[in-house]
Amino acid sequence: MNRLIVIFFYIFSILHTLFGEKDFLLFLRLAQFSGLIAFLMVMNQKGGNLFKSKSIIRLTGYKIPFLAIAGTIIIGLLNLRLNITPIIYPISFISVSLLTILSKPKLNIFIFLSFLVFLLFFYYALTGVDISLWVKGSSNYVSVLVLYISFVPLLIHKINKGGVNLILNIIFPMLALSFSIIAIGRSGIIVSTIFFLGNLTLYVRNHKHKFMILSIFIIFFAFSFSKLYSFIDFITNDYLFKLINKGATSEVRKDIVDYYFSKINFRTLLFSIDNLDLDKQMGVTLHNSYLSWHYKYGFFSFVIFYMTILTFFKSLKTDKVLSIILIVILIRSFTDLILLTEGILFGFPFILALLLVDYKNLPILKLKK
């Protein structure tokens, strides 16, 4: 049952990104419902409420969602704009993450589901479907989704104590990079490149035939580059023009940051802004998860960010795969609302990766599957 809840959450979160929209929230509600069921399951596991377990409470990945909940409530009340609906997200992320760690779901189903999404995108690309139609909402979410469906199977593999894997460390990151390039989003291309190169380095370093594998990759990339060279005119005249005029440094995002910081003084720095009213002022959303953290949590956001950075640096010493996933999530979140209380995608792998950084050194809790 626990494994099914994790699988359902994964499926519905993907379906919402692919087919959901503001007027069609069925898949989002199903994902949120799966998260709430996970919450009840975590509270009523055999052996007691896991939220009261000392070994769980110690984890940074446990503390952060509840700091987000506390911040949402306290800052919302102080500014007379309390909305408790967003707390469903952190509750879902921590609950599904704990069930994932403790139930150790089978990897194959997650690989299969991710492959289906990649195959769908291949179909869209080959049939000429406009990139803006690949997902609902912004085409920027193409890169978010391909990273998401690459992160989750890799984290499941880590939970099951797997080593380097050709599909998870090479093929999925390469596909994520390819589709991010097609989507023409600079932030997506940058972080997908980091994700791919980081995994490629780990794969080569940890493979028993590292020199042979490295030679194969060099030959493959040399061959690929020679094929791409024939498209040099298209790349320089068409693609690069589109890339330069789109992405992380666009004027709109700069205007958003400038507008937000124009509202900051000593009080608002600690307790957030009464009413941002950004949609009416500029017709856009914040497009930045960290500004959203500050707006929703006030001074709690600084604590959350500090704890996140500390855990990231810890991961550099303990598990390079987790550090790669975390740095990609942290960088990508600068340009979209995708963490903790907005967006259904990155919150789950973010919390799960944070939990795993600390969890590997704790006693494994037995869970009846």
Q: Mapped to the 3 state alphabet, what secondary structure does 165-233 carry? A: CHHHHHHHHHHHHHHHHHHCCHHHHHHHHHHHHHHHHHHHHHCCCHHHHHHHHHHHHHHHHHHHHCCHH
Contacts of residue 2, Cβ cutoff 8 Å, sequence gap at least 6: 41, 99, 102, 103, 367, 369
The pTM of the full predicted model, rounded to 2 decimals, is 0.90
Q: Which of 288, 292, 293 is nearest to 333 (CA)?
A: 288
Q: State the pLDDT at residue 137.
A: 75
Measured from the Cβ of residue 70, the count of other Cβ atoms closer than 10 Å reads 14
Q: State the pLDDT at residue 367.
A: 40
Model confidence pLDDT, tens digit, residues 233-273: 445 455 555 555 554 445 677 788 888 888 899 999 999 99
The band of 275, judged by pLDDT with boundaries at 50, 70 and 90, is confident
The band of 279, judged by pLDDT with boundaries at 50, 70 and 90, is low
The fraction of the chain above a pLDDT of 90, given in percent, is 54
Model confidence pLDDT, tens digit, residues 323-363: 999 999 999 998 888 888 878 899 999 999 999 998 764 44
Q: State the pLDDT at residue 249.
A: 47
Distance between CA 265 and CA 96 in Å, rounded? 38
Look at residue 32 and tell me whether its pLDDT is greater than 90.
yes
The band of 303, judged by pLDDT with boundaries at 50, 70 and 90, is very high
Q: Are the CB atoms for 130 and 163 separated by under 8 Å?
A: no
The band of 366, judged by pLDDT with boundaries at 50, 70 and 90, is very low
Q: Are the CB atoms for 359 and 101 separated by under 8 Å?
A: yes
Phi, then psi, of 334 in degrees rounded to 5: -70, -20
DSSP state, residue 248: T
Long-range Cβ contacts of 51-55 (<8 Å, 24+ apart): 53/365, 55/362, 55/363, 55/365
Contacts of residue 346, Cβ cutoff 8 Å, sequence gap at least 6: 144, 147, 148, 329, 332, 333, 338, 339
Which ranges constitute the DSSP H helices of 207-319? 210-229, 232-234, 240-244, 251-262, 266-271, 278-282, 289-297, 300-318
Look at residue 37 and tell me whether its pLDDT is greater than 80.
yes
Model confidence pLDDT, tens digit, residues 136-190: 877 888 999 999 999 999 999 999 888 889 999 999 999 999 999 888 878 889 9
Dihedral sign computed on CA atoms, order 274, 276, 281, 283: negative
Q: Are the CB atoms for 41 and 141 separated by under 8 Å?
A: no
Model confidence pLDDT, tens digit, residues 203-222: 888 876 667 777 777 776 67
Candidate from 114-118, 234-238, 291-295 with smallest mean pLDDT: 234-238
Q: Are the CB atoms for 246 and 184 separated by under 8 Å?
A: yes
Q: Which of 300, 366, 363, 362 is nearest to 65 (CA)?
A: 300
Q: Are the CB atoms for 38 and 89 separated by under 8 Å?
A: no
